[in-house]
Amino acid sequence: MSSPLGVLLMAYGSPATLEDVGAYYTHIRGGRAPSAENVEHLRERYRRIGGRSPLLEITRAQAAGVERALLARGVGARSYVGMKHAPPFIAEAVAAMAADGVSRAVAIALAPQYSRMSVGSYHAAATEAAAAHGITIRCVDSWHDHAGFVAALAARLDQARSRLGAATGVIFTAHSLPERIRSWNDPYADQLRDTSERVAAAAGVAPWRFAYQSASQTGEPWLGPDLLDALRDVHGAGWRDVVVCPVGFVADHLEVLYDIDVEARQLATDLGLRLERAASLNDGADFIAVLADLARRSAAP
C-alpha cells in the first residue's frame, strides 16, 4: 500500500498556560527576552480572553476536518499540525510524519496572503525539516484569491451585516507588518487588497475600507492605517455602525478575541459606533473544503 499524503497545517502558535507566556514571547522575539512588564502586559491580554488562546484546538479541528474531507474524496491523507512559535513546533510535526512513514507532503500556512516575513518563514521551517527526514514537501504559496475562501468570508460578512442593517460599512483587517517589507516588493499588501475587493464584491458591500491591526511596538514603523485610527476616521465620516471583517486570519485567537473583540469594541463603544465582527472561519465545513482543495491540487503530480 502506498504511503498516505501528509498534510501539514501550520499556524502561529500560542502559550498553553499563562506561565508559558514569557517563553512564548521570547520565541516570537527571536530569543530576546522581553521585559517583565511587557510579559505581564501580554499575560493580561490572555487573561481577558479567558486565560488561553483557542488557536491550537481550532487548528487541530481544521486538520482533522481536512483529513476527513480528503478521505471522502478518495485521497489517502494524514494530517499534522505544526506551530511557528509554540509546541507542537513545525519540526516536531514533520518528525511525526516521518515516524508514520509519510514520504510526500503538502504544507499550508494558515495565513492566506503571502509575505516573506510570515508565510515565508513557515515554509522555510517546513522545507528544512522535510529535507532532514527525506520527505518531499510542497508548500502552498498563497491562496488569497481562492473562490471558496472568498465565498466563505463573504458568507460570514453577510451574517454580521444582517445583525446591523444592510447598509453598514465594513472595515477589512489583517495583521500589520513592519513597513520595510515594502522595500522587498513583498506581495502582502496587494494580496490583502485583492482579497478585500473580492469579498466586498461577493457580499455587495459599500462603503468599505482596509486597515491593519495588532502592530507591535518594535521601534520601527509598521504598515497602516491602524484599525483604531480607521474606526475614529469612519466615525468622523458619519458612519454609525461598522462590521470588522478580518481577512488575514482564519481562526479565533488573541488578535481576534482581544484586539478586535475587546480593544476595538471598547473604542467603538466610546465613539458611539455599533460594531459587529464577522465570525472566524475556524473549522466551518466551507473552509475545510477550501483547505482540502488546496491540499489536493498541490499534491497533484
Return phi, psi of residue 226, to 5°: -80, 150
25 makes contact with ligand FEC (CB under 6 A): yes
42 lies in the binding site for ligand FEC (CB under 6 A): yes
Residue range at the interface with ligand FEC (CB under 6 A); choices 22-30, 58-66, 125-133, 134-142: 22-30
Contacts 24+ apart (CB under 8 A), 96-101: 97/6, 97/8, 97/133, 97/135, 98/133, 98/134, 98/135, 100/4, 100/6, 101/3
Letter string b/e over residues 179-189, b meaning 16 or more CB atoms within 10 A of that residue's CB? eebeeeebbbb
* Piece in contact with ligand FEC (CB under 6 A), picked from 25-33, 125-133, 146-154, 179-187: 25-33
> CB under 6 A: which stretch of 123-131, 154-162, 252-260, 269-277 binds ligand FEC?
252-260
Among residues 9, 14, 70, 191, which is the contact residue for ligand FEC, using CB under 6 A?
14
Name residues contacting ligand FEC, limited to 228-247 (CB under 6 A): none
53 binds ligand FEC (CB under 6 A): yes
Burial class (CB in 10 A: 0-12, 13-18, 19+), 148: middle
Residues in 100-139 at the binding interface with ligand FEC, rule: CB under 6 A: 111, 118
33 vs 167 by CB, closer to ligand FEC = 33
Interaction of residue 210 with ligand FEC, rule CB under 6 A: no
DSSP secondary structure of 187-226: SHHHHHHHHHHHHHHHHT--SEEEEEE----SSS-B-S-B
Q: For residues 283 and 20, what is the distance between their CA atoms, to the nearest angstrom?
A: 26
Task: Among 17, 159, 216, 266, indicate the residue that binds ligand FEC (CB under 6 A).
Answer: 216
Q: Name every residue whose Cβ is closer than 8 Å to that of residue 45 and which is 6 or more positions away in sequence.
A: 254, 258
Decide: is 29 part of the binding site for ligand FEC (CB under 6 A): yes
Pairing status of strand 274-277 against strand 241-246: parallel
Nearer to ligand FEC, 49 or 151 (CB): 49
Report the residue number whose CB is nearest to ligand FEC.
14
- For residues 25 and 208, which CB has a smaller minimum distance to ligand FEC in the complex? 25
12 contacts ligand FEC (rule: CB under 6 A): yes
Whichever of 6 and 246 has its CB closer to ligand FEC, that residue is 246
**DSSP letter for each residue of 41-110:** HHHHHHHHTTSS-SHHHHHHHHHHHHHHHHHHTT--EEEEEEESSSSSBHHHHHHHHHHTT--EEEEEES
Q: How far is the CB of 172 from ligand FEC (least distance, A)?
A: 14
Q: Which of 108, 254, 288, 292 binds ligand FEC (CB under 6 A)?
A: 254
Interface stretch with ligand FEC, choices 163-171, 193-201, 236-244, 253-261 (CB under 6 A): 253-261
Which set of grid coordinates corresponds to residue 47? 487573561
Candidates 16, 28, 98, 228: give the one binding ligand FEC (CB under 6 A): 28
Smallest distance from the beta carbon of 42 to ligand FEC, in angstroms? 5
Cis amide prior to 88 (ω within 30 degrees): yes
Q: Answer yes or no: are the C-beta atoms of 5 and 75 closer than 8 Å.
A: yes
Residues found near ligand FEC in the complex (CB under 6 A): 12, 14, 25, 28-29, 42, 53, 55, 111, 118, 175, 177, 216, 218, 248, 253-255
